[in-house]
Every structure is written in C-alpha cells, then in structure tokens.
C-alpha cells in the first residue's frame, strides 16, 4: 500500500519538475507511475491531496531527528539536504498560490520540531518556559525558518548549503543562548515570560 502511495507521489514530483502544475492531471500522474488511473483514488482525492501527502510525509521524515535539543543542528542539516535534493519541485510549488500550498504543513513540522527543542532544553537546563511564550517562539521561529528556506531555494544567487546551514544554526543558537542566559541563577524568576 505505502509503496503504491509513494510511487504516485514520486510520479507527481517528477511531473511537477517537468511541466507546469496546471498541466499535471491524474491521468498523467498515473501514466508516469505506470499504474491504473483508478488506483489513484484508493489513496488520494486529487493532485492537491498528493502534494499535501508529500509535504506531510517527506518533510516530516526530514524533521524526525530532532527529539532532543542536542540534535537540532543535525535536523537542520537533514532539512536543508532534503530541500536541496528536491529543489526544482519546491521552487515550482512555492511559486503556486493554490490549495494545499506547502506553507501551512511545513510550518507545522517546524513548530513541532521547535516545541521539542524547547521542551528538552528546559528539562536539560532545569528551567521552565511559559506556555504562551513557547507558542510564540514556535510560531515566530517556524515562520522565519520557512521563509528562509523558501528564499534560499528560490534565490538565483543562493548561498551554498553549508553556508546557509551555518547561518540558520547561528540564528537558532543565538536564540537558544539568549533563552538560557535569561535563566541565569541571578534571575528573579525561573519562568521565561
């Protein structure tokens, strides 16, 4: 089942890279996948549903490493490699303003990743982060990370992956350092507000 679903998703990605998205049809996808047209509807409602599955599954897989804050740099590395490997697909998808645009789903993955980082950071460094502030950080950082990756992929003169990774890691580390610095024992409160 999953193999067939992935085969349909791969065929969709191949078509999006080679033809305008408007020209991508269920018939074309299934021809590219070398499967019966009716099989498509066993897994997806329409071609937009395939895109949502790609964002949900593939970006989710690239972000899975981040279970503790110690590994967030490896997660950034995985994410950037994933987006670079799928550069043309995402360049075309980011340019679309259609249903199931990637922003909402990809930012949700980033929010989850940042939530895990913050929770583990607070537990490891023995402090607490106010829930509302944590939600604010998740939204702000996921929005910044999405915009940064979007700009990086669509910029004609984009930075090499290693430099982009370093800048993103520096940016996130500066935020982590600031957060932990405010938790210094001289602080009057152990809750970040």
Task: Measure Cα distances from 85 to 48, 62, 146 in Å.
Answer: 21, 12, 17
pLDDT of residue 99: 62
**Contact (Cβ atoms closer than 8 angstroms) between residue 11 and residue 33:** yes
* Strand 128-129, strand 191-192: pairing: parallel
- Measured between alpha carbons, how far is 149 from 94 in angstroms, rounded to an integer? 10
Q: Which distant-in-sequence residues (6+ apart) come within 8 Å of 134 by Cβ?
A: 115, 118, 119
Local structure of 176: helix, strand or coil: helix
What are residue 128's phi and psi, to 5 degrees?
Answer: -120, 150
pLDDT of residue 193 exceeding 60, the answer is no
Query: What whole-number percentage of the chain has pLDDT above 90?
Result: 52
pLDDT of residue 181 exceeding 50, the answer is yes
- Measured between alpha carbons, how far is 144 from 146 in angstroms, rounded to an integer? 6
- Measured between alpha carbons, how far is 59 from 45 in angstroms, rounded to an integer? 21
Q: pLDDT band at 103, cuts 50/70/90?
A: confident
Count of Cβ atoms closer than 10 Å to residue 106 Cβ? 26
pLDDT of residue 129: 83
CATH architecture of the domain with residue range 50-185: Orthogonal Bundle (1.10)
Local structure of 111: helix, strand or coil: helix
User: In the chain, where are the structural domains located?
Assistant: 1-44, 50-185
pTM comes to 0.84
pLDDT of residue 105: 86
For residue 75, which of 59, 90, 54 has the smallest C-alpha distance? 59
Query: What whole-number percentage of the chain has pLDDT above 70?
Result: 91
Segment 123-152 shows an average pLDDT of 90
Classify domain 1-44 at the CATH class level: mainly alpha
């Amino acid at each position: 089942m999953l193999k067939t679903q992935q085969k349909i998703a791969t065929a969709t990605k191949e078509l999006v890279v080679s033809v305008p998205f408007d020209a991508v049809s269920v018939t074309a996808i299934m021809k590219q996948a070398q499967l019966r047209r009716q099989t498509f509807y066993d897994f997806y409602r329409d071609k937009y549903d395939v895109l949502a599955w790609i964002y949900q599954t593939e970006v989710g897989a690239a972000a899975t490493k981040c279970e503790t804050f110690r590994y967030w740099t490896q997660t950034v590395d995985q994410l950037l490699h994933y987006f670079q490997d799928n550069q043309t697909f995402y360049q075309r998808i980011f340019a679309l303003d259609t249903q199931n645009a990637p922003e909402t789903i990809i930012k949700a993955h980033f929010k989850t990743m940042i939530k895990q980082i913050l929770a583990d950071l607070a537990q490891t460094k023995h402090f607490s982060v106010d829930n509302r502030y944590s939600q604010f950080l998740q939204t702000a950082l996921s929005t910044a990370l999405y915009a940064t990756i979007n700009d990086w992929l669509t910029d004609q003169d984009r930075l090499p992956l290693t430099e982009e990774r370093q800048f993103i890691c520096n940016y996130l580390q500066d935020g982590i350092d600031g957060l932990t610095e405010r938790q210094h024992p001289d602080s009057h409160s152990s809750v970040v507000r």
